Structure 1
Amino acid sequence: MLERLPAILLPLFAAFFVAIASFVISAAYAEHRAAEIDAAAVSLAENATPSVVHLAAARAELRHTQTLVGELVNNAVLGRSVDRRELDEARDNLSRSLDAYLGLPVYPGELKQWQTVAQELGKLDLDTDRALSLVANGHPEEANTLVDGALRADFNATSEAVMASIELNARQAGRIALEIAAIRVHSRQIALGLNMASVTFALLACVAAAVQIRRHVRLLWRQGVLLERRADELEQFAGRVAHDVLSPLGTVALALDLALRRCDEGPTRKALERGRHAITRVQCTTDGLLEFARAGARPEPGARAEVRPVVDDLMVELVPAATELGAELRVEPFAPCVVAASPGVLTSILANLIRNALKYLGNAAVCRVVVRVLDVRDAVRIEVEDTGPGIAPALEEVVFEPHVRAQGAQVPGLGLGLATVKRLTEAHGGRVGLRTVVGKGSLFWFELPRASTEATHASEIGSSTGA
């Protein structure tokens, strides 16, 4: 399946990639055309329009200057007083308007047209200065002749040259406006086409996704059927294994019961009693794990176990084993409590932790294992603390994984005890954890949900009814 995965997803990824690429290209193209429109609009607003405005103002000042020159010369002819201040101001305004126009960018052909304007302005300035000089030197009649002849022609030629520049900028403004309109129409068409392509590829991607999802769901269904079949086979196998394990244990239990009835008080009887308790615990653990397996790795509804009997029963078996190892195993006092798990499951979890602690005490100066049962809100927390060598930091994160063992460990085992603890606890809605200090020991803990009052009461009623 992993080998087929890239080939299965390739059409889907390709469709999504093309759809995204279409959207990106559409956005990039729209941005590019928008930049062109912005540039044209800036040219229209900051070049063509201001040029027309400044040239129109210059042409108006030109006519005003012509009028003022005529009035000044006419007053001189009539012997009236002559005041050049208004004429000088008009000529200054004309210069400022033309300077403002010259400060703007030029369009194609505009520079050549300006040369004509400049040439006519030069002739106009020379003839105007001559007329004013004639007036100042007392020759008003000659000045009047110059105004009516050459100077009038200069004003008309200059005005026509300025008007030609105005028309050139007006044509540029019209061209830019048409260009903006054309860009908008073309951009709208291209954007519409790209958007349609994007939507089309997005729909194809959705169709491809739907096809792949349908295939994947079908594959998952087939795998589910296969897993269910395997689970049934494993359940049958677990039942056969449990039967094969429990059958000889039943025989051993009967033999021990018979020996106990015939044995007097003494060390032998105590050894037989410990053996009988051990067989009972094995039967209880096997039954609990079998129930767990049959429940599909989930606890049966209403499963419950009183903690104290399980702990006391384990102590009967494990305290002598700890004594043989030269270690102290003790349980701190705790209040009665009930967890939402079968006694067999609780026995398996706690026994694994205690045996693991005893197994790895090593050559510690003080060999001690302490069991604590704590009340934690809606859960029961059980801690198993030892004085062993502790766990290396590199193993803290993986110590609950299967087949993980300390490097160079001399104690036999497969590394499945802590993994069993983790899986059983989490399957029952609980948690596991570890606190360790190298050279000082470790504290393993697990929490199981507290059995509800209704489940406990129902269990008690069932027990009394069965009795």
Structure 2
Amino acid sequence: MIERLPSILLSLFAAFFVAIASFVISAAYAEHRAAEIDAAATSLAENAAPSVMYLAAARAELRHTQALLSDLVSNAVLGRPLDRHELDEARDNLSRSLDAYLVLPVYPGERKQWQTVAQELGKLGLDIDRVLSLTASGHPDEASKLMDDALRADFDATSEAVMASIELNAQHVRSMAVEIAAKRVRSRGIALALNTASVAFALLACAAAAVQIRRNVRLLWQQGVLLERRADELEQFAGRVAHDVLGPLGAVALALDLALRRCGEGEPARRSIERGRQAVMRVKLITNGLLEFARAGARPEPGARAEVRPVIDDLMVELVPVAVDLGAELRVEPFAPCAVAASPGVLTSILANLIRNALKYLGDSADCRVVIRVLDVRDAVRIEVEDTGPGIAPAIEPLVFEPYVRAQGARVPGMGLGLATVKRLTEAHDGRVGLRTVVGKGSLFWFELPKASAEAARASDVDSGTGA
């Protein structure tokens, strides 16, 4: 019997080693799949979604340019004064959108498609310059004929080429989405199989241990009275081992059943799914801006109320570290308690957009500072966000609250929707927005929201359990 112990222990160790190895392989495989899902989701968030956004903006500016050029030629034919400012600005916006698209990584086939776009853009640019030259030199009829013939076809061909690039990126979005879904299914299935195998090996090891221990106990019992005490001790030891091993395994089996009913919650596959889910949540930052902007015209709920101080305090906790990283000061001037007729989420969205915008455009100012003020203006609460940045050029100042408008030469990423969202949300809540800026000295953005009514305050007290 003693000679058999090494082989018994070896078989038990082997079984437990296989069980542990199965758990380790399952975890490693889940991490590998998580990395693949992360890569695909990151590509969606940082390449495919921005590419579609910039190309869509370029296509819109292309049609805007066509309309402005047509108006310019029509005015020339009618002998009206010519103003190329809007046309030049539209062409600049088109160039900026395409430049932003070109710095992104490329997918297979995308570079070849861009060559088609570039050819059409080159031809279009030459024909636009010819029309402008004819118009400027006093030949509006020839410019109009060229506009109706060659230029119309140029605009259509360029627009179709840009649309083909959008569709190419959309195809990659669809394929990556399918790939992510397939990897999630495969990861969950293989992880489940590995975990099941590890549990099976553990159960086999436990059964082998129980069988071998009981066999050894019987052999000891047969040796006689002199070995009874040792046999009893061995039996007790066997019982303890069986209890200590089978007990946790039962709990593991129960946990696995519960995890399966909850779609793998607590399993490595679930962790990989959750990690992949966290990565997809980043396009929505180029798109959230789009969604928040699209929904910004919604009317406030009746009786909506937001205390200003808690909202600002929460934002300061989040944004002061951001300011410190930028080497800037972010502070709030003292103010009396007040509340506005909007939900806390709406007030947070407006303030966060203004403060982040101020921090983002501080630039290389010697004194980097953003100051927040809360003022009482009769029936409204006015909140100001003042920065010491470079200010805003007079040409763009009237347009800063419009969608997709950004300061020319801006070096920071963005889609130009933050201030448009501020305006939509504020005006939807019967408020106002405004701007004071001096080039080289900074800007002051402000908005006003109606004060919360006394009825809203009482309703808020009742909801919070502080009412009478």
Shorter-chain TM-score range: 0.3 to 0.5
TM-score (norm 1): 0.47
TM-score (norm 2): 0.47
Q: Which has the higher contact order (CA 8 A, sep 6+)?
A: 2
